[in-house]
């Protein structure tokens, strides 16, 4: 009874806090200082049609590097916790029901399309909404679909690990090249800015975002694989 009452009190308090926030909320009439700077100068300085991507990859590129590092650490820790002793013979997986016809045919049809869509999203990150993280998550959902259809089939860990490390190295390498050849770390003017709104424009943003997408996709996929491979013994 007391527990329920205290829960009710906590909910009431939270409600009061949010109500106060809501009542005090006043929409801004104009952009604030940094917002105005980004809105006015992105097209000429960075050359990306999607301002959010310009901020994530160029203006706040270091933060993105940190985010990618956090994700990498998470994937590494999941791998460490769920790692299986390789020397032990693998336990034969119990008899599982075969995937239905709908699932297997649907997977064959959908996986290439999902992969293509993910690649489209991260390559067009500087033009349309989306980018490396979103595209990577979509790539990982293709892996998930394959895992659902063939739970016993094993994916190549080496391929995923290589892909992940190479993408990370290229991301940091492009950033370092920016110090030497352009204005600073992760400066995108390493390559010519090109024509505004074209696919090959905005300097190194498409390159960086493509590799971030591959890296995020590989990390999520490795987490899912590790989860799928923990045997039921």
Q: Which residues form the interface with other proteins (CB under 8 A)?
A: 52, 94, 121, 129-131, 133-134, 137-138, 140-141, 144, 148, 220, 224, 227-228, 230, 232
How far is 212 from 57, CA to CA, in rounded Å? Answer: 10
**Residue with Cβ nearer other proteins (104 or 134):** 134
How far is 186 from 182, CA to CA, in rounded Å? Answer: 9
Query: Among 197, 122, 212, which residue's Cα sits nearest to residue 166?
Result: 212
| Residue 192 exposure: Cα atoms within 13 Å on the Cβ side | 5
CA geometry: angle 79, 73, 220, nearest 5 deg = 60
How far is 33 from 103, CA to CA, in rounded Å? Answer: 52
How far is 52 from 95, CA to CA, in rounded Å? Answer: 48
CA geometry: angle 226, 148, 138, nearest 5 deg = 75
How far is 176 from 113, CA to CA, in rounded Å? Answer: 34
CB atoms within 10 A of CB 46: 27
């Amino acid at each position: 009874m007391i527990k329920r009452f205290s829960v009710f009190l906590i909910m009431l308090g939270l409600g009061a806090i949010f109500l106060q926030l809501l009542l005090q909320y006043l929409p801004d009439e104009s952009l604030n200082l940094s917002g105005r700077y980004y809105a006015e100068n992105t097209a000429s300085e960075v050359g990306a049609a999607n301002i959010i991507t310009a901020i994530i990859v160029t203006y706040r590129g270091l933060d993105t590097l940190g985010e990618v590092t956090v994700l990498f650490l998470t994937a590494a820790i999941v791998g460490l916790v769920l790692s299986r002793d390789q020397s032990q013979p693998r336990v034969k997986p119990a008899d599982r029901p075969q995937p239905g016809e709908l699932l297997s045919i649907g997977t064959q049809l959908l996986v290439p399309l999902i992969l293509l869509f993910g690649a489209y999203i991260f390559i067009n990150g500087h033009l349309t909404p989306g980018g490396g993280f979103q595209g990577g998550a979509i790539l990982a959902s293709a892996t998930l679909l394959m895992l659902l259809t063939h739970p016993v089939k094993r994916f190549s860990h080496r391929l995923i690990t290589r892909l992940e490390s190479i993408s990370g190295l290229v991301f940091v390498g492009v950033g370092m090249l920016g110090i030497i050849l352009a204005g600073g770390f992760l400066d995108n003017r390493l390559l010519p800015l090109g024509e505004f709104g074209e696919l090959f424009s905005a300097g190194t943003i498409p390159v960086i975002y493509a590799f971030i997408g591959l890296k995020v996709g590989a990390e999520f996929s490795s987490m899912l694989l590790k989860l799928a491979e923990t045997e039921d013994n």
